Structure 1
Amino acid sequence: MSFDVFTPAHRIAAQVRDGEISAEAVAEAFLARIDNVNPVVNAFTDVTGERALEQARGIDKARAAGQALGPLAGVPFAAKNLFDIAGLPTKAGSKINRERAPALRDAVLVERLNAAGAVLLGGLNMGEYAYDFTGENAHDGPCRNPHDPARMAGGSSSGSGSATAAGLAPLSLGSDTNGSIRVPSSLCGVFGLKPTYGRLPRTRSFPFCDSLDHLGPFARDVTDLAMAYELMQGADPDDPACAQRPVEAVLPSLGSGVGGLRIAVAGGHFSTDGMPEAASAVAAVAKELGATRTIDLAGAGIARAAAFLITNSESSTFHLDRLRERADDFDPETRDRFLAGAMLPAAWYVQAQRARHWFHDAMMRVFADVDLIVAPATPCPAPLVGQKMLVLRGESVPLRPNLGLFTQPISAIGLPVAAVPVFGAGLPIGVQIIAAPWREDLCLRAAFALQQAGVCEAKAPGLA
């Protein structure tokens, strides 16, 4: 039978379990798609074709023997190349890391998806050491937007957003420190989930900024997003930041709707004045969810400044030896930010952490009165590859840091967020659905309601 690479992951798994299509045929279809489309979008840096086919054949043999198959049986996925993949060096988008010895084991989240029957297709392009919002990698080349290859995919999880949007993998894994799941989700027009800080273990992934790093999934379909998230939950002793919490079953409540939920639109720092695409997307989402009030999240700008300082300080300390020994092997833009961070006074870092905790406490008071907050994900749709400046509220500002204008305050305090895509007349742009800590279920319920209503959905790009 013919196979459509844009089929949702949960339907692929059902077809494999029912014997309508073999897992091997699914893997072959996606590998062929990668061969044809990846030269255009540059989403994959490593393709693990033999591994994928071997696992797929094992799934088909298990089915033929009458064995029960996992919930993601035969579903292809890919992982940002800061996740350990057995047999490959963990590049983290860098030149230096590709000299590392190959990983001996997969990252925990890769293992958990494999255990559920998902089939790994390979590693994905990303901004160097995850310090990037553009997806323009100096060593592997820029990752491009499937909806217009002249435009950015967003970063740092650029390959994750691009591959998912382009039909190269129905599921992908990324990381988010300051917005690196939500920015590419927004620019590429797919769904992304940044879980609560400490919800998913980061074991055997390459760090960027330990106190802000999150891992999470991308998908073209909310049911797929929720399924992947649910299957990856559970503490791991090798990530001390991962909370000891019971696995949250989100799929049963996915279709419960948003009736009765108190939903507001973020104002103040999150104002979309002078940003017509972002304003239109937020308005469409707010209308569908019944959000009738706007709240000013006072202190969001301070939290964003704190996120800059914490990220800069922690990451530069982590990379200090590499900076001393191999400064010329960094992307100059990444290197210069690390060097600046290495010179920050310690008192600034301490003050930034204080500001971060203050904003967290302020937001907990907000969530006593609100269940969900709607906010823009990016100030604009995908800029052109190579673009350096952005007009923001009438002022020309550097593009690279300001793509994270709306995501950084939320990362700073570890809140769960679902990024949902809105397609207007042209390119997609994303909206954030934000909840209190550990309420990913509410984010996903709202995202599902928006998808069911047709307000938010991933669309196939016009690629051959």
Structure 2
Amino acid sequence: MSTAAELLLQDAQAMASAVRDGRVSAQALTEAAFQRIADTDGRVNAFTAQVRERALDRARRIDAQLAGTDDDAASVRKLPLLGVPFAVKNLFDVAGIPTLAGSKIERESAPAKDDAVLVQRLEAAGAVLVGALNMDEYAYGFTTENSHEGPAHNPHDLTRIAGGSSGGSGAAVAAGQVPLTLGSDTNGSIRVPASLCGVFGLKPTFGRLPRTGSYPFVSSLDHLGPFARSAKDLALAYDAMQGPEAGAVTDPGCAQRAAEPVAPLLGDGSRGLRVGVLGGYFQDRALPEALAALKAVQAALGATETVELPLVQEGRAAAFLITNSEGAALHLEDLRRRPEDFEPLSRDRFLAGTLLPAAWIARAQRVRRVYAEAVARLFERFDILLAPATPCAATPIGAEWFEVAGQRLPVRPNMGVLTQPISCIGLPVCAVPVWVPEANGLPIGVQVIGAPWREDHVLRVAAELQAAGVARAPVAPLA
């Protein structure tokens, strides 16, 4: 195995250091990523498009800058993600290719003229975009069993789901194709694939990162964020993407908040943080493997107090109604003109959303506000809350049901049963991957939940759990 291919299976920080020190070229690392994709993606099905010429051209320019004048080389060497290959969920605009959002209909759209803001920011930090990734149609699902592109397969067991809706983003990192990807999270679509694929995933506070250049699902709930194989990589990517948009604001949901770097703080771990464990709703809906993972994290952090999240079921119900209604409104014209071109399950849920009474949505928004206020009071006592990320480990592709607490639940809406109540109120969360015997060789995630704008807290805890060996994200052993 070549040096570049070996490095590709490490984290982004190691890759950037190797490019910076001249141990490997950015071009060689980019070529290794495309080779790994060629060798594995026939089985994983994470990618829907590759931008090979663009990527290699960028990598060559990085190498030329490193070999240039002392000033140019010194400036480039400071980039935190120097030469690191990355890929994005195919709802991010990538100049020159259509933004599919997992759909058949958007294949007819004109290619994007510009990259999404977050793509631009990662490349400004030295990263190299290699392609776009599989997802649930219009981000409406938790399994990435996409009938237009085929399902994304879990690299740790190719017969099982990768989760969704950012399934390709989780699978690509777990498969060692790239060390860093971007996804979106409306009701759990970063945390569910991170849990099932055994990687780290960050859903920042709502409004923290600009969404300009991404295809929306539910504007009042959509978050964007990274996947990686280490907490440090999440922090590097997150820091590179922070900050309000320059000039005219095109994402009205983006907070005009200055960047607050977190990477320098990771060594603080959980020191000084008050950690609580969510019980009730979150443990009643978890199978033994999810509870075992939660206990492992709880023990590592010395968390002893279990608390209830107030109004959690009402909060989830509100999120369902808001998702249905806003999502349907966006696609109303296509639902009228070409319903046959939607995936049947997405179409039926969108159609149901068009029929919801306005009074229900107004009430859901009021419930959401009251719920957020009640949870905010809980953060007067705690800095971090822990909960399972998914009720179980990855289910088989095609499975329609799973059973928890004597209830038979449909997989697609309920793999996010533990993430949706957190998305509804926009809290920052890092999903950390845990491996326990109860999961029979599969990973399962735990949510590390913080107060608004405290991504530093959740990433500090994630880094401590990784350093202790409790959370880890090994590359799947794909032969």
Instruction: Tell me the TM-score normalized by structure 2.
Output: 0.96
Deviations 1:109-168 (A, max 9, x none): 000001111000100000000001011001000000000010000000010000011001
- Provide the secondary structure at the position in 2 that maps to 1:271: helix
**Structure 2 Cα separation of the partners of residues 257 and 93 of structure 1:** 38
The runs of at least 4 aligned residues of structure 1 exceeding 3 Å deviation read none
**Structure 2 Cα separation of the partners of residues 21 and 340 of structure 1:** 53
- Provide the secondary structure at the position in 1 that maps to 2:390: coil
| 2:136 is equivalent to residue 127 of structure 1 | yes
Q: Partner residue of 1:149? A: 158
Choose from 42, 45, 52 the match for 2:48.
Answer: 45
- Provide the secondary structure at the position in 2 that maps to 1:447: helix
Q: CA deviation at 1:259?
A: 2.0
Aligned length: 464
| 2:203 is equivalent to residue 187 of structure 1 | no
Q: Partner residue of 2:315? A: 303
Q: CA deviation at 1:6?
A: 1.4
**Structure 2 Cα separation of the partners of residues 462 and 9 of structure 1:** 19
Choose from 289, 295, 298 the match for 1:283.
Answer: 295
Structure 1 residues 177 and 273: CA distance shift in structure 2, 3 A? closer
Structure 1 residues 136 and 198: CA distance shift in structure 2, 3 A? same
Letter in 1 for 2:446: V
Q: CA deviation at 1:424?
A: 1.7
| 2:22 is equivalent to residue 19 of structure 1 | yes
Letter in 2 for 1:304: R
Moved more, 207-216 or 245-254: 245-254
Q: Partner residue of 2:90? A: 81
Choose from 222, 228, 234 the match for 1:225.
Answer: 234
Assess if the C-alpha contact under 8 Å between 2:285 and 2:404 holds in 1.
Answer: no
Letter in 1 for 2:40: V
- Provide the secondary structure at the position in 1 that maps to 2:385: strand
Q: CA deviation at 1:11?
A: 1.3
**Structure 2 Cα separation of the partners of residues 273 and 81 of structure 1:** 31
Q: CA deviation at 1:260?
A: 1.9
Assess if the C-alpha contact under 8 Å between 2:390 and 2:416 holds in 1.
Answer: yes
Deviations 1:258-279 (A, max 9, x none): 1221100001111146610000
Choose from 302, 313, 330 the match for 1:318.
Answer: 330
Q: CA deviation at 1:76?
A: 0.3
Q: Partner residue of 1:215? A: 224
Q: CA deviation at 1:459?
A: 1.3
Q: Partner residue of 1:410? A: 422
Q: CA deviation at 1:2?
A: 2.0
Alignment of 1:228-267 (within 5 A): 228-236=237-245, 237-267=249-279
**Structure 2 Cα separation of the partners of residues 122 and 88 of structure 1:** 10
**Structure 1 Cα separation of the partners of residues 271 and 189 of structure 2:** 31
Instruction: Tell me the TM-score normalized by structure 1.
Output: 0.99
Deviations 1:381-429 (A, max 9, x none): 0000000011011111111111011000000000000000001231000
Q: Partner residue of 1:109? A: 118
Q: Partner residue of 2:379? A: 367
Q: Partner residue of 1:32? A: 35
Letter in 2 for 1:452: A
Q: CA deviation at 1:309?
A: 0.3
| 2:210 is equivalent to residue 201 of structure 1 | yes
**Structure 2 Cα separation of the partners of residues 148 and 51 of structure 1:** 32
Letter in 2 for 1:457: R
**Structure 2 Cα separation of the partners of residues 373 and 2 of structure 1:** 41
Q: Partner residue of 1:430? A: 445
- Provide the secondary structure at the position in 2 that maps to 1:409: helix
Choose from 428, 443, 456 the match for 2:471.
Answer: 456
Q: Partner residue of 1:97? A: 106
Assess if the C-alpha contact under 8 Å between 2:286 and 2:390 holds in 1.
Answer: no
Identity rate, percent? 59
Q: Partner residue of 1:2? A: 3
Q: Partner residue of 1:140? A: 149
Alignment of 1:325-340 (within 5 A): 325-340=337-352
Q: Partner residue of 1:387? A: 399
**Structure 2 Cα separation of the partners of residues 311 and 257 of structure 1:** 35
**Structure 1 Cα separation of the partners of residues 344 and 159 of structure 2:** 23
- Provide the secondary structure at the position in 1 that maps to 2:18: helix
Structure 1 residues 299 and 9: CA distance shift in structure 2, 3 A? same
Deviations 1:168-209 (A, max 9, x none): 110000000000000000000000000000000000100000
Structure 2: gaps of 5 or more residues? none
